[in-house]
Amino acid sequence: MINAGVCYGRHDCQAEDVLSVAAALLRELPSGLPVWSSPLRRCRALAEQLHARPIIDERLAEMDFGRWEGRRWDDIPRAELDAWAADVAGYAPPDGESPRQLQQRALGLVDSLAVPEAVIVTHAGVIRTLLAHWQGLPPERWTELNFAYGSCTVIDISR
């Protein structure tokens, strides 16, 4: 569990209430679909409840906040936060990755899928950047897209 006000992306924390979230999702999801998952425990634990053998793929991991990971937002240098605000998609925290880099690796995973339908268990940042891409949203609007842990987002990207 992460305390409020702490920056985390790749921090590998436990998920909350995995069994009840999985039970609710299993009622919503079509049965028999393959499941891809982020390797981080908060997604992997859920994916393992949804499928006996989920496919774990690093490209579904949350954004790497580099040296910001695990720090209180209030303790991150103001100049770095201002630089990120000035270039929401392109700025990478020190030793981390930018949201656009996250988007490119996640799109790489989606483009590599060789199945017509799949369940992808991943993080809000990953979902946000994918939907922003498919909806053609400019980076300054990406933060308008919000997703709760355990929510189900259905996307049709038929080619």
- Percentage of the chain with pLDDT > 90? 74
- Percentage of the chain with pLDDT > 70? 99
Summary mean pLDDT of the chain: 92
Contact criterion met (CB below 8 Å) for 28 and 154: no
pLDDT beyond 90 at 2: no
Domains and CATH numbers, the chain: 18-144 (3.40.50.1240)
> For 17-44, what is the mean pLDDT?
93
Name the strands in the sheet holding 35-37, side by side, starting at the edge strand that comes first in the sequence.
Answer: 55-56, 35-37, 119-121
Residue 39 amino acid letter: P
Using alpha carbons only, what angle is made at residue 13 by residues 81 and 27, rounded to the nearest 5 degrees?
110
The count of C-alpha atoms lying within 13 angstroms of the C-alpha of 48, restricted to the half-sphere facing its C-beta, is 10
Write down the pLDDT at residue 121: 95
The C-alpha atoms of residue 106 and residue 61 are separated, in whole angstroms, by 9
DSSP string, the chain: ---TTB--SS--PPPSSHHHHHHHHHHHSPTT--EEE-SSHHHHHHHHHH-SSPEE-GGGSPP--GGGTTSBGGGS-HHHHHHHHHTTTT---TTS--HHHHHHHHHHHHHH--SS--EEE--HHHHHHHHHHHHT--GGGGGG----TT---------
Write down the pLDDT at residue 84: 95
pLDDT tens for 58-82 read 999 999 999 999 999 999 999 999 9
pLDDT beyond 60 at 159: no
pLDDT tens for 87-103 read 999 999 999 999 999 99
Task: Name the CA dihedral angle for 72, 10, 113, 27, rounded to a multiple of 10 degrees.
Answer: -70
Write down the pLDDT at residue 16: 77
Backbone angles phi, psi at 81, to 5 degrees: -65, -40
Instruction: Between 54 and 149, name the one with better pLDDT.
Output: 54
Write down the pLDDT at residue 1: 67
Write down the pLDDT at residue 21: 92
Write down the pLDDT at residue 114: 87
